[in-house]
Amino acid sequence: MIQITQQYRRLAFIISCILGLLVYWKMFKNNYIEENINMTHDFIVPFINYVPGFFVSPENKLVACEIRKSMSQLTTNLMCLLYNETQFVADKNTLNDTWEAPRHCMQEHSFTNFSDDLKNDTDTVKFAFIRDPIRRFLSFYLNKCVDKSECYDCGSDMRCVVERIYNGLWNIQNDRNMTFILMEAHAAPLSWNCGFNEGVSKWELLMMGSDLDERTSSTTKLAKILRKQGVRHELVESIEKDILKGETAHSTFKSTNRLAAEKQIREDPVVRYFLHKIYFFDYVVFPFKRDVLDPEYRSIFATAPAKVDIKFFV
């Protein structure tokens, strides 16, 4: 009887220790999240459903998300090809076509309509190309601000551009005004796209950066998705080859403007201040390397970012 009592006491002690640890961990986790939220109180938050844009290949039960300045041109061309290969070939379209190229697919409602039937079909696969947020900004800046002078009234003044972007996105997230604004749509965080607020894990994410190994890995992953969805083998091989060829040629191009912009992004404290406020949470939500961030930002939400609840931000 004494032995049984001692066993019960020992078991009760173990249980109380476990419960104590669980309570401590919950308090620590809540405090950790609260402290990190306080440190980022004036940052642009993730998961605003601002610019959802989809391209659909119903036959393959395949859905791609268009994220501006994140391989959006390739995404459009690829999905046009899959939507109607015969028309794509007849129009002499290619995966390297620019936005000026005519595309019959864009006139088809079923190409841009992510139907409820596809949403509810467990065989549907959704994918999106994602790109390091700061490099994505660089692409936006060079195209819209330097080449086309379309960035507000800033011209190519990068400090002006990042401040105007921040203020525009801040107004959208606080007023919940979903009116489409071209500059904000192009510069919005990745997590504001694709309906990611409904769950990032529901998407196949293809990281396309300047690193050849990374691009090759993502292209291989895309090829597996296409084969799984019934795209014929010869077409998949052709797509894979064309993507790598096009990306390799593009990655070798370094203009004077690009080099100057890269230098300013690396060294200008005002530009970096706003870029961190705008894009920091993309480095939390998505699996990007944080070494491009300033040291003081690298440890914020550094543990288990997937466990940061969306309710804290929306």
Model confidence band, residue 12 (pLDDT cutoffs 50, 70, 90): low
| Interior/surface letters 37-47, b for 16+ CB within 10 angstroms, e for the rest | beebeebbbbb
What is the pLDDT averaged over residues 41-55? 93
| Coarse DSSP helix, strand, coil percentages of the chain, rounded to the nearest 5 percent | 60, 5, 30
Residue 110 has pLDDT above 70, yes or no: yes
The widest CA-to-CA distance across the chain, in whole angstroms, is 89
Distance between CA atoms of residues 82 and 57, nearest Å: 6
What is the pLDDT averaged over residues 210-235? 92
Residues 6+ apart with CB under 8 A from 249: none
The per-residue pLDDT for 302 is 77
Lowest mean pLDDT among 84-93, 148-157, 204-213, 280-289: 204-213
The torsion angle over the Cα atoms of residues 293, 195, 206 and 44, rounded to 10 degrees, is -10
Distance between CA atoms of residues 230 and 60, nearest Å: 6
Residues 236 and 225 sit within 8 Å (Cβ to Cβ): no
Residue 37 has pLDDT above 70, yes or no: no
> Tokens 């912009």 identify what position?
261
**Of residues 67 and 313, which shows the higher confidence score?**
67
Task: Write the pLDDT tens digit of every residue in 129-154.
Answer: 999 999 999 999 999 999 999 999 99
Task: Write the pLDDT tens digit of every residue in 161-212.
Answer: 999 999 999 999 998 777 889 999 999 999 999 999 999 999 999 998 777 7
What is the pLDDT averaged over residues 298-311? 63
Please count the CA atoms within 13 angstroms of the CA of 118 that sit on its side-chain side. 20
Helix, strand or coil for residue 106?
Answer: helix
What is the pLDDT averaged over residues 36-60? 89
Among the listed residues 174, 134, 135, the one whose alpha carbon sits nearest the alpha carbon of residue 277 = 134
The per-residue pLDDT for 209 is 76
Residues 96 and 246 sit within 8 Å (Cβ to Cβ): yes
pTM score, whole prediction: 0.83
Across all residues in the chain, what is the average pLDDT? 87
How much is the CA Rg of the chain, to the nearest whole Å? 23
Residues 6+ apart with CB under 8 A from 161: 141, 145, 151, 152, 154
Among the listed residues 188, 189, 250, 187, the one whose alpha carbon sits nearest the alpha carbon of residue 215 = 250
